[in-house]
Structure 1
Amino acid sequence: MSIVLSVLDLAPIAKGESVRSSIAASVALAQQAEASGYRRVWYAEHHNMPRIASSATSVLIAHVGAHTSTIRLGAGGVMLPNHAPLTIAEQFGTLEAMYPGRIDLGLGRAPGSDQNTMYALRRDPSSSDRFPEDVLELQGYLTGESRVPGVQAVPGRDSQVPLYILGSSMFGAHLAAQLGLPYAFASHFAPQALEAAVAAYRREFRPSAQLEAPYVVAGVNVIAADTTEEAHEHHVAMRRSMAVGLFGGGQDLSDVEADVLLRRGAGTHVDQMFTYAAIGTADQVGPYLRAFADRVGADELITAHQAPTTEARLRSVELAAEAMATARV
């Protein structure tokens, strides 16, 4: 079975680098993914995270779109409870008008932030309870069948931007199945419910105007390098980086201090996030990815390339594509 390969770009701000250099790296990554035959690149909405530059997702998509030609671009995802559905319909309708046939819209219901940031976003703590209704309202704007009398998304009306439901729990699986939408599981950082959620989604799926049969996208970490030793060095570096990013309180910690965090409990959390990770050379990464896709019944893999430098991430993207073209399990 042919497996579609895509990229989740977390737009990392590497130690000693700037937001500007991170955005330039995202452009280079999308260009490499396009050249290597990936289907799409997605960007995730995060807020108040010192090492992630993808908070203004639609703006980043617009910039990358201007520097690429064919690859699909989208949100993986927009945290819809942070926004009015009409605003998102207008933003992504604008993107679709700029880059016809290249825009996706993945939707999540998590805050993408902490409690104080939720306040700063003026988010109602109960807004996630309205997520299913907000998805339908947004869908109405994009299909030209508004659920709000007298209100249309301009741009956005009848743009038919495809929606994806993102999730890391059973909630998203049930909702995606009920609405007949593709389902993307965040197994690159929250792997626990992956197989149960995918099984429920496929079992409960109802065909819709957008989708006739269930379609599963599964996230997986990738660290591909020219040698096994180099790949494992990158893994060590990324464990430190993730520990500092998640538990370092915004501080710029040394490798020694990061290792202390890992030993004091951060390592358990970080290693859980790496439950599904293809690490090694192309000969090692390719079979892992194919086996992972077969195991969970994924139609598409969205790969999060975890490497400490832009050059290493670009090489990982290139090697993983080559590996999937030749791998045999």
Structure 2
Amino acid sequence: MKRKNVKTFNSIPLSVLDLAPVNEGSTPAESFPKSVDLAQHVEKLGFNRYWLAEHHNMPGIASSATSVLIGHIAGATNEMRVGAGGIMLPNHATLVIAEQFGTLESLYPGRIDLGLGRAPGTDQATAFALRRTLNQNPEDFPMQVKELENYFADEPSGYVRAVPGEGLQVPIWLLGSSGFSAQLAAQKGLPFSFASHFAPDYMMEALKLYHDQFQPSHVLDEPYVMLGVNIITADTQEHAEWLATSQQQQFLSLRRGEPTKLKPPIDNIDDVWSGFERAAVEQTLSSQTTMVGDKGLVKEKLDALLEATKADELIINSQIYNHNERVRSYEIIGELME
């Protein structure tokens, strides 16, 4: 599941989740070089994989054309795995995804991951624009995953073939923020990544379902779990807390149904939210899976999370307004790795 020279924290690899943030006063065109720079930095630091997430109609997230950006990042790095965290499969024809990731795997062999989610990654109006229908049956997602696996098989059944794609065995992960994908990943013997960075309340339940129901497959002999975490760290506790106000403002805007670009840090977050809004944001950004502080505090919280969950890997999101501060945050995390 990891390349040979990857560094680890307490014997597990750490990875990066990038939403290609678009800062207030900036454009997506300015965010992409920053993603390339971050990917090159974290590869040197020994992070295991670099994933990009599909979102739509969000002015602060530039990774909507996820497979295109994956190719851009893979072309700018050397060994690190690059992939989707994830592709929202119901938004797409499975053949198209097979061809896109077959192309990526052909260009960058042995380096591409395909994480799959079943949510639209957006609001309902945008989901309609993407899919032209909202009549999605929950049973469609398992069928789509099966179709995708068939396109990548050595000897796919059916008349339609994915070229490129056929025979490439692109690694498939299932992603989730509830128990549905946990159970499906367990039944299919696939690796599972849980979105604990924004759905912490369901984390332990989903992990139990996955471990209890796991069935070995040709992909995995035993369960493999990667958890999403938010980490914002700096050389001092106070500075980290100041940097974290950008992420807090982002989640506040989502809570209000008014998504915005990533805003600069502010001195007093209590000036912009009500007590009710603060409680809602803090519930989403649980202190168990959102870690804000200096290196010592982050290490303490990582140790506690791993002790509680027995995760096999962590994937880290750091929504920090200033690019150099964001790179520095990952550098500090890198200092914790062996």
- With the shorter chain as reference, the TM-score category is over 0.9
RMSD over aligned CA atoms reads 2.0
Question: What runs of 5+ residues in structure 2 fail to find an aligned partner?
Answer: 1-9
> Normalized against structure 1, the TM-score is what?
0.93
Contact 1:43 1:74 in 2 (8 A): yes
Contact 1:262 1:268 in 2 (8 A): no
SS in 2 for 1:262: coil
The reply on whether 1:65 has 2:74 as its aligned counterpart is: yes
Count of matched residue positions in the alignment of Structure 1 and Structure 2: 324
* Correspondence for 1:221 among 224, 230, 237: 230
- Aligned equivalent of 1:298: 311
TM superposition shift of 1:128: 5.0
TM superposition shift of 1:238: 2.2
Matched residues in 2 for 1:163 and 1:222: separation? 26
SS in 2 for 1:229: helix
Matched residues in 1 for 2:207 and 2:251: separation? 27
Amino acid in structure 1 at the alignment position of 2:149: Q
SS in 2 for 1:195: helix
Q: 102-111 or 10-19: which moved more?
A: 10-19
Q: 242-251 or 14-23: which moved more?
A: 242-251
Question: What runs of 5+ residues in structure 1 fail to find an aligned partner?
Answer: none
**1:16-42 CA deviation, whole Å, 9 max, x = no partner?**
111011111111111111011000011
The reply on whether 1:269 has 2:285 as its aligned counterpart is: no
Contact 1:27 1:64 in 2 (8 A): yes
Change (3 A) 1:56 1:259: farther
Matched residues in 2 for 1:152 and 1:251: separation? 41
- Aligned equivalent of 1:52: 61
- Aligned equivalent of 2:143: 133
* Correspondence for 1:185 among 188, 194, 209: 194
Matched residues in 2 for 1:64 and 1:79: separation? 19
- Aligned equivalent of 1:312: 325
Matched residues in 2 for 1:92 and 1:238: separation? 31
TM superposition shift of 1:256: 9.9
Matched residues in 2 for 1:60 and 1:128: separation? 29
Paired-residue identity, %? 48
Change (3 A) 1:251 1:203: closer
The reply on whether 1:150 has 2:159 as its aligned counterpart is: yes
**1:248-292 CA deviation, whole Å, 9 max, x = no partner?**
625678969985652164323321221112221222212311221
**1:52-74 CA deviation, whole Å, 9 max, x = no partner?**
00100000001111111111000
- Aligned equivalent of 2:6: none
**1:45-90 CA deviation, whole Å, 9 max, x = no partner?**
0000010001000000011111111110000000000001111000
SS in 1 for 2:200: coil
The reply on whether 1:84 has 2:97 as its aligned counterpart is: no
Amino acid in structure 2 at the alignment position of 1:137: E
The equivalences for 1:115-264 within 5 A come to 115-129=124-138, 130-147=140-157, 149-247=158-256, 249-250=258-259, 262-263=273-274
Change (3 A) 1:259 1:287: closer
The reply on whether 1:96 has 2:105 as its aligned counterpart is: yes
SS in 1 for 2:141: helix
Matched residues in 1 for 2:34 and 2:220: separation? 34
- Aligned equivalent of 2:123: 114
TM superposition shift of 1:174: 0.5
Matched residues in 2 for 1:257 and 1:245: separation? 19
- Aligned equivalent of 1:31: 40
